[in-house]
Amino acid sequence: MEHKKIILTGDRPSGPLHLGHYVGSLINRIEHQNQYEQYVMLADVQALTDNFEHPEKVRDNILQVGLDYLSVGIDPTKSTIFIQSMIPQIAELTIFYLNLVSVNRLKRNPTVKTEIKQKGFGEHIPAGFFMYPVSQAADITIVKGNLVSVGDDQLPMLEQCNEIIRSFNRIYKTPVFSEVEWLPSKTPRLPGIDGKTKMSKSMGNAIFLSDSADAVAKKVMSMYTDPEHIRVEDPGKVEGNTVFMYLDVFDPDKNTVEEMKAHYQRGGLGDVKVKRRLIEVLNTFLEPIRARRADWAKDPSQVMQILFEGTEKVYGVAEQTMSEVRRAMQLDYK
Amino acid sequence: MEHKKIILTGDRPSGPLHLGHYVGSLINRIEHQNQYEQYVMLADVQALTDNFEHPEKVRDNILQVGLDYLSVGIDPTKSTIFIQSMIPQIAELTIFYLNLVSVNRLKRNPTVKTEIKQKGFGEHIPAGFFMYPVSQAADITIVKGNLVSVGDDQLPMLEQCNEIIRSFNRIYKTPVFSEVEWLPSKTPRLPGIDGKTKMSKSMGNAIFLSDSADAVAKKVMSMYTDPEHIRVEDPGKVEGNTVFMYLDVFDPDKNTVEEMKAHYQRGGLGDVKVKRRLIEVLNTFLEPIRARRADWAKDPSQVMQILFEGTEKVYGVAEQTMSEVRRAMQLDYK
């Protein structure tokens, strides 16, 4: 029997998940859990690298993101959901990996460079944030991951991970790890409701999976469309029109969407009508997710129990990996 | 009853210990174990930060340095000797501390700056080496250390440690740690046998605690004296003369040393005679250490057992510290 490939994925629990997460990764995970051995990590340690002054934010979102996972259909009998901070082996492995990476190499990581600018750390880049690519390599390899499914903006992280793997195997003369392959994510990024390129909780332009029907209606009504489409009878632009971009992704009735686009472009279709359609589409999509969420939310301790069981399983896997690492590094004194 | 203060000390097990270690730190530890609760760490993880390509060197020296400790009189019933890599909580704590220190702050650490130059890393400073002051802060605080006994060249490390402690207590609103005090080491540094300021295994100018009587004789005979003291009848210089510096430290008969110095200075006392005296003094000093070493070396597994028992004790202490850390950081999910 062939072993299933191992895939690692996860989120920083610094806020509830939104539609951007859904189309960018959750939808893939629901598929991947049937094909691969899937680990889903609640990356609380990583979330702390840029939220270390707000641990309560990370704390509260462990349960919230756990609920998000279960309500979208990540199935704990198929996927192993776990909490990063409860796997100390990741920290151990990170410390060993830090010897294999130079400070200059970390400085050159384009993803980190961009994020440092975005986060406005200025001259005060926390060392923990600076070296998080190394910590990510430990996340992936502690479960002997074969695949990661990330956007191409995250490719430098994967390259850094594979560099570490090659160095480790070469220096310690043991092929403990296999290089990790990239599984490109299928869906393009969803823009925020303000039309900005990225939906993000920190930018305040997100529709959350846990938003009520009313909240969704309100957010869609405030959505960015074509700023030059003033009167209903004017022709409007569909390109760059956030409402149509969302319909393209979420409306199962592609013909109606095409008809609406044509109507909008020639004039006579108002923004409000298109937005009403999107509200209906999104709420239809979110309704079963909300129902499952409400169900799980009745007993949060059961959700936590699922996370603890997943974590316990990963602890065992991690201990096995570390025993190989310690043997290769000649640290197996006992 | 007042609690004893806790002191942490230790060595990188990258080679056997030498006379420089003895006068610089071991002699203090033999005293401190009666006054304080003393932890002595075999810093294998730290040793790997600049020996990561030679794990066998670190591996082999765990037993050797353990033997050095026991043979000089570090008493395992009074001191807790432990192996750093077997305490994963240190790695966990290091990762949390890295969030509290900026990359620029690490760059400015004068001790690290100097060591980076000495080690000739050039543009390839391993990230693990770069951040080892943070890892040291974790070493000290994982056992809730109150005191460290180091030379003043290591004061920047202590300052870094206390900065981290203050940040941690402030940000996580819990006084988990107390600031660490400096216990200056009493004895000045012993120069190498080549007269260079520092005795160091890597500079090849060390007399090891495990050297045989013959090896000591040979090394003393090659020792740096006064290069202008050519003929026996010439007056010689005592200042900067390594042989006399060693006699000052190791010869219990101070009067004889003073007489020899005067004789040497007015001329008529040859280097060989002074060196013979030092050989005798050093071998008298080293003989009981060698005897105890030979005794312990008969059963290396007993030595390892002592290290494992110390490590187990520290594991318990570390777990207690981490449970306080996790509570303060709101990572105590269970």
Neighbours of B263 (CB within 10 A): 15
pLDDT tier for residue A121 given thresholds of 50, 70 and 90: confident
CB B61 within 8 A of CB B14: yes
pLDDT per residue over A220-240, tens digit each? 999 999 999 989 999 999 999
Which residue would you say has higher pLDDT here, A211 or A116?
A211
pTM equals 0.94
Q: Of B56, B83, B89, which is closest to A330 when you measure between CB atoms?
A: B56
Alpha-carbon radius of gyration of chain B: 22
Question: Residues B244-263: what's their mean pLDDT?
Answer: 96
CB-based contacts of A145: which residues, under 8 Å, 6+ apart? A6, A7, A8, A39, A180
- At residue A2, the pLDDT reads 65
pLDDT tier for residue A119 given thresholds of 50, 70 and 90: confident
- A·B CB contacts under 8 A: 139
Residue of B nearest to A173 (CA): B53
Neighbours of B123 (CB within 10 A): 8
Task: Tell me which DSSP letter residue B24 carries.
Answer: I
pLDDT tier for residue B152 given thresholds of 50, 70 and 90: confident
CB < 8 Å to B142, chain A: none
Taking each continuous run of H as one helix and of E as one strand, the counts in chain B are: 15, 5
pLDDT tier for residue B244 given thresholds of 50, 70 and 90: very high
**A324 to chain B nearest CA, in Å?**
14
List C-alpha distances in Å: B146 to B50, B142, B165, B173.
27, 11, 12, 20
A15-19, A123-127, A292-296: range with lowest mean pLDDT: A123-127
Q: Do B124 and A130 touch (CB under 8 A)?
A: no
Q: Do A104 and B91 touch (CB under 8 A)?
A: no
Tokens of A61: 């979102």
Q: Would you call B106 exposed, middle or buried from its count of C-beta atoms within 10 A (0-12, 13-18, 19+)?
A: buried
CB < 8 Å to A315, chain B: none
Q: Do A127 and B135 touch (CB under 8 A)?
A: no
Taking each continuous run of H as one helix and of E as one strand, the counts in chain A are: 15, 5
pLDDT tier for residue B164 given thresholds of 50, 70 and 90: very high
Q: Of A56, A106, A331, which is closest to B127 when you measure between CB atoms?
A: A106
Rounded Cα distance, B78 and B70, in Å:
12
Q: Which residue has the tokens 């199935």?
A: A75
The alpha carbon of A212 is separated from its chain's Cα centroid by a whole number of angstroms, namely 22
- At residue B60, the pLDDT reads 94
pLDDT per residue over B99-122, tens digit each? 999 999 999 999 888 888 888 888
- At residue B119, the pLDDT reads 85
A44 and chain B in contact, CB less than 8 A: yes
pLDDT over 60 at B1, yes or no: no
Q: Do B95 and A125 touch (CB under 8 A)?
A: no
- At residue B123, the pLDDT reads 82
pLDDT per residue over A63-86, tens digit each? 999 999 999 999 999 999 999 999
Nearest alpha carbon to residue A44 among A105, A8, A104, A86: A86
Question: Residues A251-276: what's their mean pLDDT?
Answer: 96
Q: Of A52, A56, A334, which is closest to B100 when you measure between CB atoms?
A: A52
- Composition of chain A by helix, strand, coil, percent to 5: 60, 5, 35
Q: What is the ipTM of this complex?
A: 0.94
A6 sits in which H/E element: strand A6-11
Nearest alpha carbon to residue B330 among B178, B162, B173: B173
pLDDT per residue over A281-294, tens digit each? 999 999 999 999 99
Nearest alpha carbon to residue A284 among A251, A242, A246, A243: A251
- Composition of chain B by helix, strand, coil, percent to 5: 60, 5, 35
Q: Which one-letter amino acid corresponds to residue A99?
A: N
Which residue would you say has higher pLDDT here, A116 or A44?
A44
Question: Residues A183-197: what's their mean pLDDT?
Answer: 83
Nearest alpha carbon to residue A71 among A24, A16, A141, A32: A16
Q: Do B55 and A330 touch (CB under 8 A)?
A: yes
pLDDT tier for residue A187 given thresholds of 50, 70 and 90: low
**B76 to chain A nearest CA, in Å?**
19
Question: Residues A101-116: what's their mean pLDDT?
Answer: 91
pLDDT tier for residue B200 given thresholds of 50, 70 and 90: confident
Task: Tell me which DSSP letter residue B82 carries.
Answer: E
Which one of A48, A50, A52 makes the best mutation probe of the B interface by having the most chain B beta carbons within 10 Å?
A: A52
Q: Do B333 and A304 touch (CB under 8 A)?
A: yes
Q: Tell me the percentage of chain A whose pLDDT exceeds 70.
A: 99
B250 and chain A in contact, CB less than 8 A: no
pLDDT over 70 at B226, yes or no: yes
- B-contacting residues in A 50-69 (Cβ below 8 Å): 52-53, 55-56, 58-59, 62
- B-contacting residues in A 157-216 (Cβ below 8 Å): 171-172
Query: Average pLDDT of chain B?
Result: 95
